[in-house]
C-alpha cells in the first residue's frame, strides 16, 4: 500500500512491523470477545512486556529503549489501535501514569519506579479525575496531609484507566486547599499501601477491554519520599503530562480510523448490489476517498506535533490540543461512515465496525474533552495574536 | 542444561504452487519461514530456559546460506547460540542423510540434555528427521510430545494420540518431536531483533562437522522421489440451498439412496 514518507527512524519502522504483526495475530482474534466480556487484556500486555515494547518511552538508563525519538511508542499505540483501542488504551495508560514520574520525579524515584514499568513487570495508572473534577481538574478534593514522614490521603478518584490492574499510581491530591490549583501535589502510590482500595469496574459503551475503576483513599499512608517534586507542583506535572500525552490519544484515533477505513474499503470491494461491487458507485467511492484523506491528514498533524516536540519545540501545547481534537473527530466521523458503508451488516456485532464506532466516542472525551482542547487552542491564539497587537 | 533445537526453513505453504509440467514446487517469490512445528519446539526450549536457570538454548539448522534468517528469528525470540550447517556437500540430502548430518553437528556441540524438533516439516511432511537424529545419537526419542517437565535428570513427557495421551518418563539426554498444541510460540522481542541484526553467522562446513562425505548429499540418499503432483481439484457436485432443513435432508437421503451409497 502506498504510504507517505514521514522520515521515520529504522526503529520506528521496525516497531510498526512488529506491533502490526502482533496486533493481527494476537489481538484481532480476541477483540470481539474482550469487547463482549469486558475482560482486561492481561495476557496481551504481558506479552508486549516480554517483547520489550512496554518501555519504548522510558530512557535506557531506566531500562527502556527511548533515545529521544517518541515515534516508536506513538506508532506502537497507532498499530494496536488499528485493531482495538480497548487494548491500546490499556497499553498507553502505562505511559500516562509514568509521565509525571518521567517529567517531575527525582533521580531516586525514577530509578525505583521506572525499570519495572519498562520491563512490563509492573503497570502504571494516572489518577487525576474525580466525580466533581473532570474538565475543571484544578478543583479536585482528594486531600493529602503531612504526618511525620508520611502523607495521609483521603478521597476518591473516578474513571481511572488501568485502575485495579496497575501497580503504580500517580495520584493528584490537595496539600493546601487555600491555594487552588497551586495547592495540588502529585504522589506515587503503590497498590497495597494501607488504606488504598478500588471501587467497582465501570460498564462502558466502548473500550470495554480496558479497566476503568474508582480509587478510594481512606487514611491511605504514602511515604513522604513518594511526593513528586515539591508540594504545590502537582498541577504543573498534570498539565505538562497532558501536553505530551495528547498526541498519544491522537495516535489512537489515527489507528482506529485507519482500521475502520481498511474494513470499509475491503468490504466495499466485495459487497455486490445491482450486479457490481458497491465501491463502483461514485457516491460510495467518494465517501471512502474522504475517509482516507481525513485519516492521512490526522496522521500527518499528529506525527508533525510529536516530531516537533522531539526536536525541542517549547510551545507545543496548542499543537498537542489540535492533533487530539482533530484526530479524534476524524475517528468518530470515519468509524461512523464505515458503519454506513457496511449498511445493515455494519450494525451487527458479527462485523468489527460497530465496535469501532462505539470505541471512537471516548477519544472525543478523555484526556480533556474536545471542547477543552478548543479552549486551549483558542487561549493560545488569543495570547499569540495579543502579543503581536501590542507591538 | 543444554537444549538443542533443530529447525528448518520452509516455504510458506499458503503461497506454494506446484509446476504441473515438472511436478516440482514453485518456490520463486515465495517467502521462507521457520517451519511452524519447529516454532513450537523452540518455544518449549525457551519456556524450559525460563523455568530452569542456567539453561542454554542452541538452535541448529541445515540449509543454504539464506537459512541464516530462521536462526536470526530464533535469536530474536531468545536463543543463546545458533549453528548453520551449510555446505554444497549436503545438497539433495534426504531424511536419512540429513539426520546423519545433523547428528554429527550436534556431536560437535556441548553435549545436549535435550534435542527438540518440530513434529514434522510442512514441506516434506515426513516426520522422520527427529527420530532419525535421535537414532544416530543413540538417545531415546519421544515423538508427538505436547508437554514436558524436567526434574532430577529425567523428563516427564506427554505423548499425544488422536484419542488420548501417554505419560512417559525418560532419562536425559533424550529427543522430542513437538506438537503444535504444546504451546503458543512467542514473537521476537525488540532487543532480540536488534541483537539478531548485528549477528554474523559463520557456517559450519561438512568438513568441520566431521561427517563422512560418503554419507552426505543426494548420492548418499536412499530416497528417490518418483513424482510430486497436485491432486486434481474436485469438480462438479450438486449444491442445494434455501429450503427447509427437513426438505433438504429428505432430498439428500433420496439422492444417496438412488446412487446406492446408503
Which CATH number is A124-233 given?
2.40.110.10
At B24, phi and psi to the nearest 5?
Answer: -115, 160
The CATH T-level fold of domain A236-390 is Butyryl-CoA Dehydrogenase, subunit A; domain 3 (1.20.140)
The shortest CB-CB distance from B191 to any of A15, A26, A52 is to: A52
- Average confidence score pLDDT of chain B: 92
Per-residue pLDDT tens digits for B85-109:
999 999 989 999 999 999 999 999 9
Q: Do B193 and A65 touch (CB under 8 A)?
A: no
Chain B positions touching A53 (Cβ under 8 A) are 190
Pick from A43, A51, A76 the residue to mutate for testing the B interface (most B CBs within 10 Å). A51
Strand B81-85 versus strand B56-62 pairing type: parallel
CB contact under 8 A, B189 and A52: yes
Question: What was the pLDDT predicted at A126?
Answer: 97
Domain residue limits at B43: 2-220
Of the residues A272, A296, A367, A384, which is catalytic?
A367
Report DSSP state, residue A25: I
Cβ pair A85, A252 in contact under 8 A: yes
Q: What is the pLDDT of residues B201-219, one digit of tens each?
A: 999 999 999 999 999 999 8
CATH 3.40.50.720 fits A10-118, yes or no: no
Of A21, A26, A53, the CB nearest to B190: A53
Would residue A231 show up in a list of annotated catalytic residues for this protein? no
Within 10 angstroms of residue B52's Cβ, the number of other Cβ atoms is 13
| pLDDT the model gives residue A233 | 94
In a domain? residue B254: no
Rounded distance, CA B143 to CA B131, Å? Answer: 7
Would B243 be classed as within a structural domain?
no
Question: ipTM more than 0.90?
Answer: no
Q: Please, what is the average pLDDT of chain A?
A: 96
Q: Does A179 touch chain B (CB under 8 A)?
A: no
For residue B262, being part of any structural domain is answered with no
| C-alpha cell belonging to residue B132 | 532419525
Query: Is B183 among the domain residues?
Result: yes
Backbone angles phi, psi at A344, to 5 degrees: -60, -35
pLDDT in tens, A83-141: 999 999 999 999 999 999 999 999 999 999 999 999 999 999 999 999 999 888 889 99
Chain B: nearest CA to A50, how far in angstroms?
A: 7
Domains in chain B, number? 1
Residue spans of the domains in chain A: they are 10-118, 124-233, 236-390
Is A323 in contact with A301 (CB distance < 8 Å)?
yes
CATH number at residue B27: 3.40.50.620
pLDDT digits (tens, 9 = 90+) for A282-330: 999 999 999 999 999 999 999 999 999 999 998 899 999 999 999 999 9
Predicted model pTM = 0.89
* CA of B193 vs chain A CAs: smallest distance (Å): 9
Nearest CA in chain B to A54: B190
Q: Which of B63-72's residues contact partners 24+ apart within 8 Å by CB, and which partners?
A: B63/B8, B63/B9, B65/B203, B66/B9, B66/B32, B67/B9, B68/B201, B69/B9, B69/B32, B70/B7, B70/B8, B70/B9, B70/B32, B70/B33, B70/B34, B70/B38, B71/B7, B71/B201, B72/B196, B72/B197, B72/B199, B72/B201
Burial of B32 (0-12, 13-18, 19+ CB in 10 A): middle
Do residue A21 and residue B191 have CB atoms under 8 angstroms apart?
Answer: no
Q: Is A176 helix (H, G, I), strand (E, B) or coil?
A: coil
The model's pLDDT over A230-262, given as tens digits with 9 standing for 90+, comes to 999 999 989 989 888 999 999 999 999 999 999
Q: What burial class does residue B238 get, using C-beta atoms within 10 Å of its C-beta: 0-12 exposed, 13-18 middle, 19+ buried?
A: exposed
Q: What is the pLDDT of residues B100-159, one digit of tens each?
A: 999 999 999 999 999 999 999 988 889 999 999 999 999 999 999 999 999 999 999 999
Residues in chain B: 262
Amino acid at each position: 500500500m502506498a504510504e507517505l514518507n514521514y522520515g521515520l527512524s529504522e526503529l520506528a519502522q521496525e516497531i510498526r512491523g512488529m506491533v502490526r504483526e502482533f496486533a493481527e495475530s494476537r489481538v484481532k482474534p480476541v477483540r470481539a470477545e474482550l469487547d463482549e466480556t469486558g475482560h482486561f487484556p492481561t495476557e496481551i500486555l504481558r506479552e508486549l512486556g516480554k517483547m520489550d515494547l512496554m518501555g519504548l518511552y522510558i530512557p535506557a538508563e531506566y531500562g527502556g529503549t527511548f533515545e529521544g525519538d517518541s515515534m516508536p511508542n506513538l506508532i506502537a499505540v497507532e498499530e494496536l489501535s488499528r485493531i482495538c483501542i480497548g487494548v491500546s488504551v490499556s497499553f498507553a495508560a502505562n505511559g500516562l501514569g509514568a509521565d509525571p514520574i518521567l517529567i517531575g520525579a527525582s533521580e531516586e524515584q525514577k530509578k525505583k519506579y521506572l525499570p519495572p514499568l519498562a520491563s512490563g513487570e509492573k503497570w502504571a495508572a494516572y489518577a487525576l479525575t474525580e466525580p466533581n473534577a473532570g474538565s475543571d481538574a484544578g478543583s479536585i478534593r482528594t486531600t493529602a496531609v503531612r504526618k511525620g514522614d508520611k502523607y495521609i490521603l483521603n478521597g476518591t478518584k473516578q474513571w481511572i484507566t488501568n485502575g485495579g490492574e496497575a501497580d503504580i499510581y500517580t495520584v493528584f491530591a490537595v496539600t493546601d486547599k487555600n491555594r487552588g490549583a497551586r495547592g495540588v501535589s502529585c504522589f506515587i502510590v503503590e497498590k497495597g499501601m494501607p488504606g488504598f482500595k478500588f471501587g467497582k469496574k465501570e460498564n462502558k459503551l466502548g473500550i470495554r477491554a480496558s479497566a476503568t475503576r474508582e480509587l478510594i483513599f481512606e487514611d491511605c499512608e504514602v511515604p513522604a519520599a513518594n511526593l513528586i517534586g515539591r508540594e504545590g507542583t502537582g498541577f504543573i506535572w498534570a498539565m505538562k503530562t497532558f501536553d505530551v500525552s495528547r498526541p498519544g490519544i491522537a495516535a489512537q484515533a489515527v489507528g482506529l480510523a485507519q482500521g475502520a477505513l481498511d474494513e470499509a474499503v475491503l468490504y466495499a470491494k466485495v459487497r455486490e448490489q445491482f450486479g457490481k461491487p458497491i465501491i463502483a458507485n461514485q457516491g460510495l467511492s467518494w465517501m471512502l476517498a474522504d475517509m482516507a484523506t481525513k485519516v492521512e491528514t490526522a496522521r500527518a498533524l499528529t506525527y508533525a506535533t510529536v516530531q516537533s516536540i522531539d526536536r525541542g519545540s517549547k510551545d507545543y501545547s496548542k499543537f498537542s490540543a489540535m492533533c487530539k481534537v482533530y484526530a479524534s473527530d476524524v475517528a468518530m466521523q470515519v468509524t461512523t461512515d464505515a458503519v454506513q458503508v457496511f449498511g445493515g451488516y455494519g450494525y451487527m456485532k458479527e462485523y468489527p465496525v460497530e465496535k469501532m464506532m462505539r470505541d471512537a466516542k471516548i477519544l472525543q472525551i478523555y484526556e480533556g474533552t474536545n471542547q477543552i482542547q478548543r479552549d486551549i487552542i483558542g487561549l493560545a491564539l488569543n495570547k499569540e495574536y495579543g502579543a503581536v497587537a501590542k507591538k | 542444561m543444554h537444549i538443542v533445537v533443530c529447525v528448518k526453513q520452509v516455504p510458506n505453504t499458503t503461497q506454494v504452487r506446484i509446476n504441473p509440467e515438472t511436478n516440482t514446487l514453485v518456490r520463486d517469490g515465495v517467502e521462507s519461514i521457520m517451519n511452524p512445528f519447529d516454532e513450537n519446539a523452540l518455544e518449549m526450549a525457551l519456556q524450559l530456559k525460563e523455568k530452569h536457570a542456567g539453561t542454554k538454548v542452541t538452535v541448529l539448522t541445515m540449509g543454504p546460506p539464506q537459512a541464516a534468517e530462521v536462526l536470526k528469528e530464533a535469536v530474536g525470540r531468545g536463543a543463546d547460540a545458533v549453528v548453520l550447517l551449510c555446505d554444497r556437500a549436503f545438497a539433495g540430502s534426504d531424511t536419512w542423510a540429513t539426520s546423519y548430518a545433523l547428528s554429527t553437528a550436534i556431536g560437535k556441540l556441548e553435549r545436549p540434555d535435550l534435542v527438540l524438533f518440530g513434529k514434522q516439516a510442512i514441506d516434506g511432511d515426513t516426520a522422520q528427521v527427529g527420530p532419525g537424529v535421535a537414532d544416530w545419537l543413540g538417545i531415546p526419542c519421544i515423538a508427538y510430545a505436547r508437554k514436558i517437565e524436567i526434574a532430577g535428570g529425567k523428563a516427564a513427557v506427554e505423548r499425544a494420540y488422536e484419542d488420548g495421551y501417554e505419560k512417559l518418563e525418560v532419562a536425559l539426554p533424550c529427543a522430542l518431536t513437538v506438537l503444535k498444541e504444546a504451546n503458543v510460540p512467542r514473537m521476537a522481542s525488540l532487543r532480540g531483533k536488534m541483537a539478531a541484526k548485528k549477528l554474523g553467522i559463520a557456517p559450519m562446513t561438512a568438513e568441520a562437522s566431521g561427517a563422512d562425505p560418503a554419507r552426505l548429499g543426494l548420492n548418499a540418499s536412499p530416497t528417490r522421489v518418483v513424482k510430486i503432483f497436485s491432486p486434481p481439484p474436485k469438480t462438479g457436485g450438486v449444491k442445494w440451498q434455501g429450503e427447509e432443513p427437513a426438505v433438504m435432508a429428505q432430498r439428500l437421503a433420496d439422492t444417496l439412496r438412488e446412487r446406492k451409497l446408503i
